[in-house]
Amino acid sequence: SAVISQKPSRDICQRGTSLTIQCQVDSQVTMMFWYRQQPGQSLTLIATANQGSEATYESGFVIDKFPISRPNLTFSTLTVSNMSPEDSSIYLCSVGIEGTTEAFFGQGTRLTVV
Amino acid sequence: RKEVEQDPGPFNVPEGATVAFNCTYSNSASQSFFWYRQDCRKEPKLLMSVYSSGNEDGRFTAQLNRASQYISLLIRDSKLSDSATYLCAVNRGSSASKIIFGSGTRLSIRP
């Protein structure tokens, strides 16, 4: 497995502002992903964070709203831009490790937009 | 149609009962199947991977039916500590680790 650290663990933000969430892994991983979990809902895949290139977004998610960076094999950021109360969710980073197919998750970032 | 469909429950059963969860998936190219457990305000944790031959881990049994694109999880002799949300998860085609989740089934075990 891998140790995945997400920062911040929670935040309360004003609408119209942006928040950048960081995901740090303790080892090099092949795949990194970002998920959103809205209140009372399951996890929805936002995008695959590609190392050194633009992220691959799922239907319904766009780069202008959720810009993602992945400068190396152990680190990624997700920015939630121009936030509204509807963006209040838990945002989770997950990683895939060579030789395995399951995903491992960070502890999540609980975002509240007021 | 959703990629992964799951009965959201909630299931409320007495301690010691046997409970079964079902899940269907739409992508016939999926190769990997999982059950995750999520406790309140926590991240999902892998409970079991699901193999074609079926697999058992203590009180938990998972089965896969590729022809029907159906996954199940059976919990025997349920404990209070089994109360959680159980998420069915399937990888997106051949993309390892790109996992799509079902809506989750909430389970409450009562004394």
Output the CA angle A46-A52-A55, nearest 5 degrees.
15
* B71: β partners: B23, B64
**Taking CB atoms and an 8 Å limit, are A101 and B102 in contact across chains?**
no
Q: Mapped to the 3 state alphabet, what secondary structure does B41-54 carry?
A: CCCCEEEEEECCCC
Of A37-41, A95-99, B62-66, minimum mean pLDDT range: A95-99
Show which residues on chain B lie within 8 Å of chain A, measured between beta carbons: 31-32, 34, 41-46, 49, 87, 89, 91, 96-104
* pLDDT over 80 (residue B94): no
Nearest to A110 by CA among B33, B6, B42: B42
pLDDT at A56 over 70: yes
CA distance B52 to A15: 48
Binned at pLDDT 50, 70 and 90, residue A55 comes out as very high
What DSSP assignment string belongs to B67-101? TTTEEEEEE-S--GGG-EEEEEEEEETTEEEEEEE
Does the CB of A106 have a partner CB in chain B at under 8 Å?
Answer: yes
For residue A103, give the chain B residue with the closest CA: B97
Q: Is B29's pLDDT higher than 90?
A: no
Q: What is the mean pLDDT of residues A16-21?
A: 98
Q: Closest to B32 (Cβ–Cβ): which among A48, A92, A101?
A: A101
Q: Using pLDDT thresholds of 50, 70 and 90, give the confidence band for residue A96.
A: confident
Pick the range with the lowest mean pLDDT from A47-51, A95-99, B24-28, B62-66: A95-99
The pLDDT tens digits for A66-77 are: 999 999 999 999
> Which whole-number Å values give the CA distances from B111 to A22, B19, B78, in the listed order?
41, 15, 10
How many percent of chain A have pLDDT more than 70?
100
The residue of B39, B98, B100, B103 whose CB has the most chain A CBs within 10 angstroms, and thus the best one to mutate to test that interface, is B98
CB-nearest to A43 from B34, B91, B101 is: B101
Determine the distance in angstroms separating the CA of B26 from the nearest CA of chain A, rounded to an integer: 16
